[in-house]
Amino acid sequence: MEPFRVDVPDVVLNDLKTRLKLTRWADDFANEGWQYGTNTDYLKELVSYWIDGYDWRKQERAINAYPQFRTEIDGVPIHFIYVRGKGPNPKPLILSHGWPWTFWEYHKVIGPLSDPRAHGGNPADAFDLVVPSLPGYGFSTPLRKPGVNFWRTSGLWVQLMEQLGYPRFAAHGADWGALITADLGHRYPERVMGVHFPMMLPLDLFSGGMPPPEDYDADEAPMAARLQNFFATESAYSALQSTKPQTIAAALNDSPVGLASWILEKQRSWSDCHGDVETRFDKDDLLTTIMIYWVTQSYGTSARYYYEAAHNPWTPVHNRIPVVEAPVGISVLPEEICSAPRRWVQRYYNLKQVTYHASGGHFAAWEEPEAIITDLRDFFRALT
């Protein structure tokens, strides 16, 4: 393992600014509600700020304030933040992100989880935090090994935590990270003290597994409709990235505005922002995520994560119920795009804690950090 610092060469930043200024804008009309996709007027506003107001070096300094490392496991480069907890007996906790996220979406929870006393909490709730970039994402690049998907990543995390001296650990994740974390609880229950996530989907999602209609109670009809609407109107990105990711990688690796449009639309559609993305994320937040993909040229391998999940589908290592045998905690946010009915959840997971929240969407720790901090402390407090 080698210490790592983010230090993007000036030539990359200068090239970026040139590309932004030379953007050939697509015509856009009758799209005030983003019904056709990313609204060009807002995108132009964001790009104008990107050119004249955004300070990447400031964001670099914020990222580099945390200890970072890089290693290689089974031919896969892994970048991660590693912060030791300040308390009498910190528990090791790995936090897994998704797409189009980066490790940095967890930066609001790192301080409170690792140093509770400094943030008004009990030092007995401290965690040793490991926050990796998924393989092929951000600084876990360049990825040159095919076949790496969410369930293979869970095995990489077991090895990573073992190398750090943690034969057993706690895990939390969202989006792909929720599937990684659930797979840890299925495949390696003896290695995890518990698993926690805000997104509920079957691990065999890519081979057709979904909660059956009869599992939905009458009051869960809106949840079923939201999930159905997501797959009908919001999942074209997944179909493309699961089948021909390299085709669009050529475009988004070359055009920063194209990359911004692709990611921004998801940040708006999947968050609890009611159409105004800046009620959840300011322009610096939005652009820093986009920048991490841009400066590492990692969009292409992040998109392949979908292809590898679809073409190397998850299969169980046992046929017992619950499928996820490790203790499970769930944070339920009302605008999470992928929630599941109670009866299915109680059957599929070894459920120990469910907490319902009044607001929040798909980017849980980014949108509602206090809720996730509290839920993680409460869930893992009694687990060893």
Which parts of the chain fold into alpha helices (H)?
A: 10-21, 40-52, 56-64, 107-114, 150-163, 176-187, 221-233, 236-243, 245-252, 256-270, 283-296, 299-311, 342-348, 364-367, 369-380
Measured CA angle at 270 (ends 296, 176), to 5 deg:
55
- Residue 306 among the catalytic residues: yes
Peptide bond into 142 cis (omega under 30): yes
Q: Which residues contact 332 (CB under 8 A, 6 or more apart)?
A: 198, 339, 354, 355, 356, 357
Distance, in Å, from the CA atom of 154 to the CA atom of 177, rounded to the nearest integer, reads 9
Q: How many CB atoms within 10 Å of residue 275?
A: 9
Asked if 102 and 363 count as a contact pair (C-beta separation under 8 A), the reply is: no
DSSP 330-361: EEE-TT-S----HHHHHHHEEEEEEEE-SS--
Contact 371, 364 (CB under 8 A): yes
Q: With beta carbons less than 8 A apart as the criterion, state whether 352 and 327 touch.
A: yes
Instruction: Look at strands 76-83 and 127-132 and give their pairing.
Output: antiparallel
Dihedral sign for Cα atoms in the order 190, 195, 201, 205: negative
284 annotated active-site = no
**Catalytic site residue from 175, 183, 215, 375:** 175
Q: Is 282 a catalytic residue?
A: no
Among 199, 137, 4, 176, which residue's Cα sits nearest to residue 82? 4
Q: How far is residue 103's CA from residue 130's CA, in Å, rounded to a whole number?
A: 10
Nearest to 4 by CA among 71, 55, 58: 71
Q: How far apart are CA 19 and CA 256, in angstroms?
A: 7
The one catalytic residue among 306, 307, 348, 349:
306
Closest CA to 100 of 383, 307, 363: 363
At 325 the three-state DSSP class reads strand
Burial of 44 (0-12, 13-18, 19+ CB in 10 A): middle
Catalytic residue among 186, 196, 357, 362: 362
334 within 8 A of 358, measured Cβ to Cβ: yes
- Give the residue numbers annotated as catalytic, written as ranges: 175, 306, 362
